[in-house]
Structure 1
Amino acid sequence: MKKLIFGLVYCGMVIVFGSCAALRAMCEFVKHPLTFFHQKKRDVQPEILQDPSYGTHKYVTANGIKFHYVANGTEGKPLMLFLHGYPEFWFSWRYQLLEFCRDYYAVAVDLRGYGDTERPPNQKDYHLDKLTQDIAELIPALGYSSCVLVAHDWGGGIAWKVIDSHPELVDHLVMMNSPHHKIFAKAFSKWGQLMKSWYIFVFQLPYLPEIMMSARDYKMLERVFLSKPMGLINKEGFSKEVMETFKYTFSKPGACTAALNYYRMVFKTRARTAHRSNDKIEKPILLIWGDDDGAFLLEMADQHNLVATNLIVKHIPKCSHWVQQDRPDLVNQYMREFLQDDVS
């Protein structure tokens, strides 16, 4: 009966939100018929992505995937591994790569299907179990037995699973605006969170999300990062040059579909993640939360004592979902304070 009810609710949400999204796309086309399908040709990598101060571009194979990453700092120092969210890539961690390279071997990876990492063609290749195994194999592939794991958004969903299933790989966890799956599952039954999660249901549809994402030369990326409710409140650090890096990355063949496949597998992941240990996470965790997040209910941030015993929560008022790019000063400060014994 529960499966039937869930199936009906799921189908209803996809139909309702999908119809609204389709109608909006049609209106956008009517308003901008000549530019709706226009996409700027982007054959040359933006210069800012080649800035050596962010680190060195490298590749490594893990779990059968060739991963691209940017490493800053001295290899052999403790590993700090950064996992980005949607729709992002390694560059989302530019401020942290510059800040922590003195004390750590700071590595920002393009997750499976993103950036210059390989893009498997099938939806099933983006199941959470495979995404988790990617990181479980990536850490030793980089030459380490454990790390400080830093994650945001979808990267956080993967990181929670990593620390749940492979706690020996994580010395400290720094999480940013990404709730533990148990906390999110409870919130997902509330109308407020369902409305914030409308896009997840739209992303279940074929073709339409890709069209929406790329329309008018990836105008959706500008809306996601630069307008409320998801957008940056502090826009000074998000210049046109920075915006162009995201458009360049997602204009690559198959990039939009690969990123969307994370969401298209999320409800298929649900059944497998339901049966987990009830033991709380004992590793030290810092949860940083931008309080003006358009994707998640604020109340979720302070509920994580239900899943962790050694937890610090830091709120950043008037800060968006994109917390590490929006307020890098405070994010880096809170990380420093949390990790001070680790580098002393």
Structure 2
Amino acid sequence: MTDVTFTEHSLSTGVTLNVATAGPEDGPAIVLLHGFPESHRTWRGLVPLLADRYRLIMPDQRGFAGSDAPQDPADYVTDRIVADLFALVDSLGLDDFTLVGHDWGGAVSWAAALRGDPRLKRLVIVNAPHPLVFQRSLFEDADQRAASQYITAFRAPGFEQFPATIGWEAFFDKSFQGHVDLAAIPAHEKAEYLAEWSRPGIFNAMLNWYRGAPIVVPPPGADLPLPDYLHRPFPSVTVPTLVVWGMRDKALLPLQLDGLDALIDDLTLVRVEDAGHFLPWEKPQAVAGPLRTFLEAHTGA
């Protein structure tokens, strides 16, 4: 069993994050950012596949699991969450790191890469849409718009009471059914999810990621023009970038891969045909293998 250690980091952004780490302290640093509705445990399948060589840094992002959970949606705007990342990088003294993001962690990772911080050398995205491609698709593609209506539901006042109303176990089933085989999730893993979600204030904070985000989700059937800002030039991602995508993702459809080559200067794209949205733990080898190859090509490590 690979050893994972936990430390708390009080950041200059005003929050304390629970951070899991594994691997040699002097190994090449990889910061891994999870999404909804997870935690550092998103990466549980990758740790034994990577910790022999790499220093894995896996925070619970603000609002999740063991980290601070501000209750105001304004505390979850993208700039504040990206600031957490770089404050953690400061706290750890990193001057060269690879950033890996899944789901909302990928949204943070795209935004962080676009900042141009010289310490962020390489970017890895796992089933997380590029912000421009995603926003355009919500206006232009009926299927993606339909698949994203859960965002509107999550933003509704009072939705934080829904899991307690139907029961946390029923909410667990609703969260993952259609994405993975529920029977394949071990009982102890399910128990971990339920314990994290049901901590006081946590679920409301998790929803605040959606409430604080600027993404616009038009209602189904609405015929709306593409906003002017989506016609403007968009900056390129200049660091080498690996995108690994589970092609059975029912929330983020494969069209999210269209046009990435025009937005990324150095793109490697890996499609995983037999996995869906929760690729990091559904098929961890399908992420770890391309990640190792990518890092060897771009660092020699």
The alignment's TM-score, normalised by the length of structure 2, stands at 0.89
Question: In 1, distance between residues paired with 2:233 and 2:23?
Answer: 37
Q: Mapping of 1:159-238 within 5 angstroms?
A: 159-189=109-139, 190-207=141-158, 209-214=159-164, 215-225=166-176, 227-228=177-178, 231-233=179-181, 236=184, 238=185
The question of whether the paired residues in 2 share the 8 Å contact of 1:97 and 1:108 is answered with no
The question of whether the paired residues in 2 share the 8 Å contact of 1:54 and 1:97 is answered with no
What's the offset of the Cα at 1:290? Answer: 0.5
Determine which of 72, 78, 85 is the counterpart of 2:22: 72
> Is the aligned partner of 1:154 residue 2:79?
no
- 2:45 aligned counterpart, secondary structure: helix
Q: Mapping of 1:230-309 within 5 angstroms?
A: 231-233=179-181, 236=184, 238-267=185-214, 278-309=234-265
Structure 1 residues 132 and 305: alpha-carbon distance in aligned structure 2, compared to 1, 3 A threshold: same
Question: In 1, distance between residues paired with 2:33 and 2:143?
Answer: 27
Question: In 1, distance between residues paired with 2:111 and 2:261?
Answer: 17
Q: How many residues align?
A: 287
Corresponding residue for residue 8 of structure 2: 59
What's the offset of the Cα at 1:337? Answer: 1.2
Indicate the larger mover: 262-271 or 100-109. Answer: 262-271
Determine which of 31, 50, 71 is the counterpart of 1:121: 71
Structure 1 residues 234 and 291: alpha-carbon distance in aligned structure 2, compared to 1, 3 A threshold: farther
Structure 1 residues 276 and 93: alpha-carbon distance in aligned structure 2, compared to 1, 3 A threshold: farther
- 2:10 aligned counterpart, secondary structure: strand
Corresponding residue for residue 112 of structure 1: 62
Question: In 2, distance between residues paired with 1:60 and 1:282?
Answer: 29
Q: What amino acid is the match of 2:6?
A: H
Question: In 2, distance between residues paired with 1:139 and 1:269?
Answer: 30
The question of whether the paired residues in 1 share the 8 Å contact of 2:39 and 2:61 is answered with yes
What's the offset of the Cα at 1:235? Answer: 5.3
What's the offset of the Cα at 1:115? Answer: 0.9
Question: In 2, distance between residues paired with 1:185 and 1:268?
Answer: 7
Corresponding residue for residue 82 of structure 1: 32
The question of whether the paired residues in 2 share the 8 Å contact of 1:175 and 1:286 is answered with yes
- 1:108 aligned counterpart, secondary structure: strand
Corresponding residue for residue 101 of structure 1: 51
Question: In 2, distance between residues paired with 1:315 and 1:183?
Answer: 17
Question: In 1, distance between residues paired with 2:58 and 2:232?
Answer: 29
Q: What amino acid is the match of 1:265?
A: G
Question: In 2, distance between residues paired with 1:315 and 1:172?
Answer: 19
Determine which of 280, 286, 294 is the counterpart of 1:324: 280
Indicate the larger mover: 273-282 or 104-113. Answer: 273-282
Determine which of 95, 106, 131 is the counterpart of 1:145: 95
Corresponding residue for residue 334 of structure 1: 290
Unpaired runs of 5+ residues, structure 2, are 218-226
Question: In 2, distance between residues paired with 1:97 and 1:311?
Answer: 24
The question of whether the paired residues in 1 share the 8 Å contact of 2:130 and 2:256 is answered with no
Q: What amino acid is the match of 2:157?
A: P
Q: What amino acid is the match of 2:23?
A: G
Corresponding residue for residue 15 of structure 1: none
Q: What amino acid is the match of 1:247?
A: L
The question of whether the paired residues in 1 share the 8 Å contact of 2:121 and 2:239 is answered with yes
RMSD between aligned alpha carbons? 2.2
The question of whether the paired residues in 2 share the 8 Å contact of 1:171 and 1:284 is answered with yes
Unpaired runs of 5+ residues, structure 1, are 1-51
What's the offset of the Cα at 1:331? Answer: 1.2
Corresponding residue for residue 222 of structure 2: none
Q: What amino acid is the match of 1:88?
A: E
Identity among equivalent positions (%) equals: 25
- 1:188 aligned counterpart, secondary structure: helix
- Structure number with the higher helix fraction is 1
What's the offset of the Cα at 1:316? Answer: 0.7
What's the offset of the Cα at 1:269? Answer: 9.1
Question: In 2, distance between residues paired with 1:211 and 1:343?
Answer: 49
